Structure 1
Amino acid sequence: MSFNPKDALDAVRDIATNAVEKASDIVENAADIIRGDIKGGTSAIVANSIDIATHAVDRTKEVFTGEDDDED
């Protein structure tokens, strides 16, 4: 499959949108830490960070391979 610049741009937009949404969640988790829930807030921040990275890798893989893991 050939590289499609439009698909790459769409993926970048999707990755950025997802990162902004997760960043909003991270801010809420930081507020939890400030309120005293250090374990819960930290755990959620790590989970959201992993979600951001996983989504970015999956979308990038889709652009370069043309495969969508969610289609199965």
Structure 2
Amino acid sequence: MDTPGDYEFAPLRIPPGTSRSAAATMLSLQADVGGWELARLQLHADGTRKVILRRRARLSYLPKPVV
């Protein structure tokens, strides 16, 4: 089983008004380019999405998420 120390995490905030398809495209690009995967997604009442991405710590030479 993986422990939290095996991963690095990157918190992102997607502003309200961003369409679901635009947010999905942005996250899939981060996954393809940086090796990130979705760890957690929270949708707030005001429409803001709080996203936590994670990737294996050994991939730290890859770029951080760009939003």
TM-score, with normalisation over the residues of structure 1?
0.32
Bigger relative contact order (CA 8 A; separation at least 6): 2
Give the structure with higher Rg (CA): 1
Q: Which has the higher helix share?
A: 1
Q: Which has the higher strand share?
A: 2
